[in-house]
Chain A
């Protein structure tokens, strides 16, 4: 069974602070994919990043960066110099690579609500 744990339920930061959102996952698959989604107050789910299990390189996209550590089964997300527009719920998710039942779908964590205070 797959499981994603986001231990931080809510985080508040002051604008321009850096913030890291934690994600720990469990899977028996040797090949899998990790994702981060953003859900702003408007409610849609916005794709941020996809990572496969063979690529442990960290990734940076503007103010966003992701740290994937297979040894600790973690895929953490850092926002540098946070802005009010970053306020949202952020979901970490996991899927297997196989198309069989129980593996291919996204398993989501419970989400971390980030509030950036001006």
Chain B
């Protein structure tokens, strides 16, 4: 299994631009999570899906952030417009039925200048 695949690995963009982060979960996993890691706040949950349906988006910082999961094998996290304070590492994770743990992708390091 290829694991959870995130793209791009690194993204540098200018303030005000739209940014789209992508995630392919492990096949058969029915939960998908988006986390953000910063020095100040640590690892924080942004949103998670179950069977492609958003369950909890209370961690999404503001309306500039949106996430979709159009099918079981793909999810996106979009920031529009981006701001320097959005600079962070964004992780995607998926989990199998039965709660046997979470597998994280390699993360996307976002820098907004």
Contact = CB atoms under 8 A, between A and B. Distances in A.
B107 A43 contact: yes
A43 B56 contact: no
A111 B44 CA distance: 12
B110 to A, nearest CB: 13
A24 B93 CA distance: 24
B56 A108 contact: no
A101 B55 contact: yes
A44 B35 CA distance: 13
Given A99-B50, A102-B56, A105-B33, A50 B106 contact: no
A94 to B, nearest CB: 12
Contacts of B91: 45
A91 interface: yes
Nearest to B44: A108
Interface stretch (B16-24, B64-72, B97-105): B97-105
Contacts of B109: 43
A75 to B, nearest CB: 15
A35 to B, nearest CB: 7
Given A99-B55, A110-B42, A111-B42, A104 B102 contact: no
Task: Please classify how large the interface on chain B is, using the bins under 10, 10 to 19, 20 to 34, 35 or more.
Answer: 20 to 34
A45 B90 CA distance: 12
B12 interface: no
Interface string A17-47: 0000000000000000101010000011101
Interface string B79-103: 0000000000101010000011111
20 contacts: A35-B102, A43-B109, A44-B104, A45-B93, A45-B107, A47-B101, A50-B100, A97-B99, A99-B50, A100-B55, A102-B58, A104-B48, A104-B55, A105-B33, A106-B33, A108-B42, A108-B43, A109-B42, A110-B42, A111-B42
Interface of B: 31, 33, 35, 42-45, 48, 50, 55-56, 58, 89, 91, 93, 99-104, 106-107, 109
Interface of A: 33, 35, 37, 43-45, 47, 50, 91, 95, 97, 99-102, 104-111
